[in-house]
Structure 1
């Protein structure tokens, strides 16, 4: 009987581990497997302890570069994206829906790679907006409707404070890019993402930003 209980416990532990994917794993230098993507100047990313937790520090001085991980995530198995972030310096007086103001102190975003059919490539950006309200969705000023911006944090959010976030990416993709009309069609369109990225950018505004990101984890619930 005892062996059976131990077996069931071990199975439950395995299932729990399989239902969560830490894509940064800051404590074990997992962020080193992420590739740098430079758009305009290079933001500085480093891992350090900050205000009670291990964090990825991002400094942007009139620059726009991010970190990208090519990893397929099954959103039916682990639809929830969990992360924490803290902003020490926001960007004032920007129209973030314009090309001149398309800068964000913090972005965590996912990409569906369309491959050769580039028109099928889609990206959903979860952003910390310096000048807009929380909960808005709009098309990216440069990429149009293929890149959606969602203000998870807005101008009322406090600087210097850690915020914990949790988003159902699968449902967000359906809501932002459109319901395909059936569960089968939605799964075909949105079940898998192919890339995750982090970026703090201030190239368009010519300003500075300082941001901290915690581990990014996909979970079943």
Structure 2
């Protein structure tokens, strides 16, 4: 595996929130040009551990850890999270409902040989204007409202992002929930092919489409190659 992030720890491939002195230690803001109102992220103590608390009030932004990682044959992502509530108007199948109190965003490297001319031209323009290369496909692990747990659907804005509902509904709101996923297996299921290298993993709580409010708590994300 090629790993270029200098902040990675020996027992995981993603910086652990529980050991950070600042959110700048291996994480950086993930914002979007057309969204001016951002979610708030802060390190707090919760149930005896240091975690990240995210508050979103009609805005959207995230925290991303940049990577350059070959996922190999199997790559296990494990995390725990908690939400205060789900969004009444949340709906993973509609643009107006594409908000989640908590999500984990896994971004993969863009593959120009699999893209059309206009897609390549658009990405080149973005790189020139903003000095940053856009990622390619993405997996979003979401705490959904009405989408049944286990469902996989295309994002309503782009089929280059696939939404995987790992939790759904309000039954477990207010409780810590642990999730474990094989990123490689999920990518194969979602896109029908082998994944390229991973360029980033992010947490994000957003409410820019529904205009609602929620708080989420994120524990450590652990990323390991399978034995």
TM score, norm. by length of structure 2: 0.78
Alignment of 1:4-83 (within 5 A): 20-29=12-21, 31-32=23-24, 33-39=26-32, 40=35, 41-76=37-72, 79-83=75-79
| 1:122 has 2:137 as partner | yes
Aligned to 1:140: 155
The one of 192, 196, 202 aligned to 2:207: 202
Q: Distance in 2 between matches of 1:90 and 1:35?
A: 26
Q: Given the superposition, is the C-alpha separation of residues 113 and 165 from structure 1 closer, same or farther in structure 2, using an over 3 Å criterion?
A: same
Aligned to 1:152: 166
TM score, norm. by length of structure 1: 0.80
Q: Distance in 2 between matches of 1:139 and 1:197?
A: 18
The answer (yes or no) to whether the contact 1:106–1:128 under 8 Å persists in 2 is yes
Q: Distance in 1 between matches of 2:88 and 2:179?
A: 23
Extract unaligned runs of 5+ from structure 2: 1-8, 121-134
Extract unaligned runs of 5+ from structure 1: 1-16, 180-185
Alignment of 1:162-201 (within 5 A): 162-179=176-193, 186=194, 190-201=195-206
Alignment of 1:97-116 (within 5 A): 97-114=93-110
Q: Distance in 2 between matches of 1:95 and 1:191?
A: 29
The answer (yes or no) to whether the contact 2:74–2:183 under 8 Å persists in 1 is no
Aligned to 2:4: none
Aligned length, in residue pairs:
195
Normalized per residue, the structure richer in strand is 1
Normalized per residue, the structure richer in helix is 1
| Structure 1 stretches of at least 4 aligned residues deviating more than 3 Å after TM superposition | 17-20, 115-120
Pairwise CA RMSD: 2.2
The answer (yes or no) to whether the contact 1:93–1:131 under 8 Å persists in 2 is no
Q: Distance in 1 between matches of 2:30 and 2:143?
A: 20
Q: Given the superposition, is the C-alpha separation of residues 49 and 19 from structure 1 closer, same or farther in structure 2, using an over 3 Å criterion?
A: closer
The answer (yes or no) to whether the contact 1:62–1:206 under 8 Å persists in 2 is yes
